[in-house]
Amino acid sequence: MRATDDRYRGEQARFDLAIRMIGHEARTGTIRFFTGLNDDRIRKLYARYFKYNDAPVRRQRGRSPTRVSPLVRTPQRALESGVFVNLLLANGLLSLEAPPGPPLKLNVDLGHRLCECFDTFVLLVPRASLSFEWSFNLLASMRRGDELGIAHCEVCSICYVFDMLSLPRAACPACLLFEGRVDVELALTAS
């Protein structure tokens, strides 16, 4: 009986995570990666819980973004990415001491934690440009560790994400903004 209960709870946790991720407009591949549910079940969950809602949720098709340059294209984006990476580190989805961190595939608990990071991020950064899918791309890229790095500015103590392949390394985006060396409006609309 207990085995049946545990299986039911495990199944329910996967459904709960899938529904939560659909609410964040995650792509089917991302939901499948964390929950192991097949495309047909994900499609049915979307149809059942979201399709005819008052506030429509878009179903994202196709592949998840894999390019990293948009994550650091402007100072604002480098700062946004820095905030999100700090949340990932604090929530154990990413580890600097034991890189890259715990395995994510079919890990329902960490899938929920990623959703929590995103929920917190949306509260911390109003009108952020980082979507849920881009935040997952950021997580995956940071775990690969070959293109994006996290830097800490000695002057203003802010953490930001930088492109490791771009030389010389980009200056601290917060200091640039504080010094007025970047037109904020221009940087915002360049996204």
Distances (CA, A) of 114 to 30, 52, 108: 11, 26, 10
Closest contact distance (angstroms) between CB of 160 and Zn ion is 8
Residue 78 lies near Zn ion (rule: CB under 5 A): no
Residue 136 in tokens:
């997952």
- Given 125, 140, 151, 153, the residue binding Zn ion (CB under 5 A): 153
Distances (CA, A) of 141 to 40, 132, 172: 28, 14, 20
d(C-alpha 5, C-alpha 87), whole Å: 33
Residue 179 lies near Zn ion (rule: CB under 5 A): no
Residue 174 lies near Zn ion (rule: CB under 5 A): yes
From the list 65-73, 78-86, 101-109, 152-160, the region that binds Zn ion by CB under 5 A is 152-160
Closest contact distance (angstroms) between CB of 69 and Zn ion is 21
Residue 139 in contact with residue 114, Cβ under 8 Å?
yes
Residue numbers of the site for Zn ion (CB under 5 A)? 153, 155-156, 172, 174-175
